[in-house]
């Protein structure tokens, strides 16, 4: 979800639609990764080199039907790691359709400049999106707020969203550094507080 605040209901619906569309475009979808791992590389679009020190968060999802008969999905768990010199990330494949986002100070999420390719699949072919994540350096005079942040909607325990909390804190620091509006920053901080109030495993869940 976009961290920025929207003043009208119409703008909110439009922003949600645009944000989800953009998020899907900029995030790597694990359905095309290795059968046992979510893995890839965080790459600088300007240099084509791997990025060290990027924080990568995998978002594990659950899904179900709705009263309209359409399926929906939501985040139930996150995991995170910082990349090394090789820029690589890897996580266990714990759900069917996880997504991966990456963040690093002074960068924003960029569309992959590498074309999608076709790969053999079941006697035919399927589209195989690039599993890597691309970040672009910020222009200090024109900050881009495309940070790829997302709040985990339905986690049960605090340990399931430690990565989400870390990711959001980095995003907030960037918003403060580059002068985002106070409402957007406060909104992001309230999301962090909600996640931090979740119970630990074994403790009673909050009502």
Residue 191 maps to a domain: no
Boundaries of domain holding 142: 9-148
CA distance 16 to 150: 12
Residue 88 maps to a domain: yes
Query: Residue 74 belongs to a domain with what CATH number?
Result: 2.60.40.1120
Q: What is the pLDDT of residue 186?
A: 94
Q: Please give the average per-residue pLDDT across 111-139, as a whole number.
A: 77
Residue 124 maps to a domain: yes
Q: What is the pLDDT of residue 196?
A: 96
Q: For the chain, how many structural domains are there in total?
A: 1
Kindly report the CA angle at 42 between 103 and 90, in degrees rounded to 5?
95
Residue 92 maps to a domain: yes
Q: Please give the average per-residue pLDDT across 124-134, as a whole number.
A: 78
Tens digits of per-residue pLDDT, 89-108?
A: 999 998 877 889 999 999 99
Residue 43 maps to a domain: yes
Tens digits of per-residue pLDDT, 150-201?
A: 889 999 999 999 999 999 999 999 999 988 889 989 999 999 999 999 999 8
Residue 194 maps to a domain: no
Q: What is the pLDDT of residue 63?
A: 79
Residue scoring higher pLDDT (140 or 22): 140
pLDDT exceeds cutoff 80 at 127: no
Round the average pLDDT of the chain to a whole number and report it.
80
Residue 40 maps to a domain: yes
Q: What is the pLDDT of residue 150?
A: 80
Q: Are 154 and 73 contacting, i.e. CB atoms less than 8 angstroms apart?
A: no
Residue 111 maps to a domain: yes
Tens digits of per-residue pLDDT, 5-64?
A: 344 444 433 333 333 333 443 456 544 455 678 999 999 999 999 999 999 999 999 877
C-alpha to C-alpha distances, 197 to 96, 201, 206, 207, nearest whole angstrom: 28, 12, 8, 11
CA 56 to chain centre: 8
């Amino acid at each position: 979800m976009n961290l920025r605040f929207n003043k009208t209901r119409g703008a909110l619906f439009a922003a949600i639609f645009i944000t989800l569309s953009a998020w899907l475009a900029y995030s790597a979808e694990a359905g095309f990764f290795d059968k046992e791992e979510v893995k890839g590389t965080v790459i600088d679009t300007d240099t084509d080199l791997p990025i060290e020190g990027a924080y990568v968060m995998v978002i594990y999802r659950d899904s179900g039907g709705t009263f309209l008969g359409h399926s929906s999905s939501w985040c139930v768990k996150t995991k995170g790691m910082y990349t090394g010199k090789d820029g690589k990330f890897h996580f266990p494949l714990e759900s069917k359709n996880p997504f991966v986002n990456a963040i690093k100070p002074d960068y924003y999420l960029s569309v992959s400049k590498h074309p999608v390719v076709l790969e053999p699949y079941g006697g035919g072919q399927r589209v195989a999106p690039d599993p890597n994540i691309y970040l672009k350096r910020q222009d200090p005079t024109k900050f881009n707020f495309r940070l790829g942040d997302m709040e985990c909607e339905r986690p049960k325990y605090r340990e399931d969203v430690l990565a989400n909390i870390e990711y959001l804190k980095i995003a907030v620091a960037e918003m403060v550094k580059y002068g985002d509006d106070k409402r957007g920053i406060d909104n992001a901080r309230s999301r962090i507080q909600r996640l931090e109030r979740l119970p630990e495993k074994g403790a009673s869940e909050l009502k």
